[in-house]
Structure formats: structure tokens, C-alpha cells
Structure 1
């Protein structure tokens, strides 16, 4: 069933692309320019290609939701790594990088042997 919906989904996607490319251009991008035909009158005339575009878009969204539901049912709380059957290696303490002692992480204090400012002799 999932494969049938997936094939229908792909056919709808290709059909939607084809129908959108067949429509005539309305002028500039985002409705700007073009002589004020459809953008100025409030509602553009509904053409046959426009209706087919809406129908294909609604069907595409429905198949998208259906495929999402199928994917959620098949997931069942498992991970992709679980499906591979590979167990991750256990971490040993010897594998961890060595961390220096707490005294070595701090900057040197002024009481140490080296002076902070070199003196001129």
C-alpha cells in the first residue's frame, strides 16, 4: 500500500511541476507589474490550468500526509542504528583521553619560582 501511495505521490509531483510550467506568466515576480490584470482586480480569472493546479496541489498534500503516517507507523520507536544490528563499542576508561591533574590546569601564581616581570640586572 505504501508503494502505491509513493508512486501516486511521485506522479502528482511531476504533474504539478508540468502544470505550473504550462501556465502563462502574470508579469513580474510576486505579482508586481504586468499591467494590473489579475493583481489589481482582487481576484484573477480562474482558468482550467489554475483549477487543475489546485486539484493536484491538494492531492499532493494528501499523499504527503499519508506517507508521513505510514512512516510514523513503521518507525515504532526504533532507530536506524538499531535496524543495522551493529552494537556500538563500549567505552573503557583506558580509551578516554588523559586529563591533567587539577594543579596543572590553573595559571601559575605569583609565588612560583619564575618572576612575572623580568628584572634588569
Structure 2
């Protein structure tokens, strides 16, 4: 069913593009769109305007239908990755101890402490490489 609606949607899109391209340009302020065009009569312009409106409604309807069909079979899922039917383990949870070797934050903190403990220079100095 979704494939049929996609094909109809694509046909509507192609026809809508062709219909819009056939319409007379209204850019007279820039010197464009002047002269007699391929379809210059008032009746043809009204026909193209109504056709464009009908195709736009069809495009909107098929877009909404395709969006609804895409979300129809979607089921909520857990972000943890375990099925919701499983229960938690019965034993008491053990607290996670912090790492003893130190992570990147600990090493940055030690580096800041070392820089703060150094005496302030009495005169301007060139930076030293570490």
C-alpha cells in the first residue's frame, strides 16, 4: 500500500512541477515575462492556477498519509537496550567505586594545583616548555 501511495505522490510532484513551470511569469518589475507566451489567454491561466491548487492539495494529502503510515508500525523502545519484560536482578546493587588510577579530570586537577603552588615570578619570563 505504501508503495502505491509513493508512486502516486511522485506522479503528483512531477505534474505539479510541470504545471508551475508552464505558468506565465509575473516578474514584470525586472523586465522578465513580457510578450506573448505559449499560453497567454486568461482562460488558460485560470486553468493552470486551479490545476496547481488541486495538485498542491493532493501533494499535501499524500505527504500526510505517507507520514502517518511511516509512524503507524513504530513501537516505543527502551533506550537501554533491554526488553521491558525483564526485571531487575534481585540482589542488592553494589555501589561503583571511583577509579583509583585517576582519570583525565584528576590529572587536570593535579596539573592546576601544581601551577598554583609554583611561586610567582619576580620579573617577566619567557614561557618554559614542560
Instruction: Indicate whether the TM-score tops 0.5.
Output: yes
- Residue 68 of structure 2 corresponds to 69
Is residue 59 of structure 1 aligned with residue 58 of structure 2? yes
After superposition, the C-alpha distances for 1:17-48 in whole angstroms (9 at most, x for unaligned) are 0000011112247xxx989xxxxxxxx98610
Query: Equivalents in 1 of 2:71, 2:3: separation in Å?
Result: 15
Is residue 115 of structure 1 aligned with residue 121 of structure 2? yes
Q: Secondary structure at the match of 2:26?
A: coil
| Greater Cα radius of gyration, structure 1 or 2 | 2
Please report the RMSD computed on the Cα atoms of aligned residues, expressed in angstroms: 3.5
Q: Which runs of structure 2 are paired with 1:26-45 in the superposition (5 Å)?
A: 26-28=26-28
Distance 1:15 1:70, change over 3 A: same
Query: Equivalents in 2 of 1:22, 1:78: separation in Å?
Result: 48
- Residue 20 of structure 2 corresponds to 20
Q: Structure 2, unaligned stretches of length 5 or more?
A: 35-41, 82-98, 126-130
Q: Which runs of 4+ in 1 moved over 4 A?
A: none
Q: Structure 1, unaligned stretches of length 5 or more?
A: 36-43, 83-92
